[in-house]
Amino acid sequence: MAHQGTAETGYRTAPLLDFVTRTIAREEPALRDIRETTEAKGLPAISVGPDEGRLLHFLASACGARKIVEVGTLAGYSACWLAKALPEGGMLHTIEYDPKHAKVAKENIGLAGLTAKVTVHTGPGMAVLPTLEAHGPFDLVFIDADKTGYEGYARWASNNVRSGGFVICDNAYLFGNLHRDDLPKDHEDKPKVAPMRAALSLLADESLFSSCAMVPTGEGMAVAVRR
């Protein structure tokens, strides 16, 4: 039997969630424009939504973040939510593999008035991350990039986030396939299962993190607090 108040009771209706989004996860026009024009600019519409954006803003504010790393910039939507939580003098280093995406992100971040708080780095995540270590330790690392790289990204984050800082992994449900051992060999998510599980096991390692939780967003967002 489902616990009272869980999603199985059916109260998570679209009208209710739309109301909550309008009330809690309010977007500034510049952020909404980024989200709504991503496809028109030739990028895939796979960024976080306004609810997840507000959650990232909340988490960055909760840990008093001044220095943040994001792996996976895309159009800069989540970067803007994170940067909005930074105080004056704070800096977000965000990494984007695709030069075209990085160019669009820089333009969007500029239109949002956040250029002074965001540095966009172009290149493979595991190549760029070591170059950022001199700026650490960091208060928060947000991982939302290629899923086969999650284990490496999470391990780097665990070594470069301060005590009390957050490591966050998006898409942690792996599109509903995290638990599946029966995926066909040619399934697109098959090579992503082991790295995602390894990343989550790392975040759940109590010798490294004092607490870890799965926030049940639509895609699943794992959050861990470094010891």
The token pair at 140 is 């928060």
Closest CA to 81 of 100, 68, 96, 63: 68
Q: What is the mean pLDDT of residues 147-162?
A: 98
| CB proximity list for 158: less than 8 A, separation 6 or greater | 167, 202, 203, 208, 209, 226
Which strands sit side by side in the sheet containing 209-215, from one edge to the other? 118-122, 91-96, 67-71, 138-143, 161-169, 221-226, 209-215
Counting residues of the chain whose pLDDT is more than 70, the rounded percentage is 96
Q: Check residues 199 and 28 and name the one with the higher pLDDT.
A: 199
Q: What are phi and psi of 153, to 5 degrees?
A: -65, -45
Give the pLDDT confidence score for residue 153 in this predicted structure.
Answer: 98
CA distance 7 to 177: 19
Q: What domains sit in the chain, N to C, each tagged with a CATH number?
A: 7-226 (3.40.50.150)
The token pair at 187 is 């399934």
pLDDT tens profile 78-132: 999 999 999 999 999 999 999 999 999 999 999 999 999 999 999 999 999 999 9
Give the pLDDT confidence score for residue 13 in this predicted structure.
Answer: 87
CA distance 184 to 148: 17
Whether the CB-CB separation of 56 and 81 falls below 8 Å is answered with yes
Q: What Cα–Cα distance (Å) separates residue 122 from each residue in 51, 97, 104, 223?
A: 27, 6, 12, 25
Mean pLDDT of the residues in the chain: 94
pLDDT band at 9 (very low <50, low <70, confident <90, very high): low
CA distance 227 to 211: 8
CA distance 3 to 29: 38
Give the pLDDT confidence score for residue 4 in this predicted structure.
Answer: 45
pLDDT at 2 over 60: no
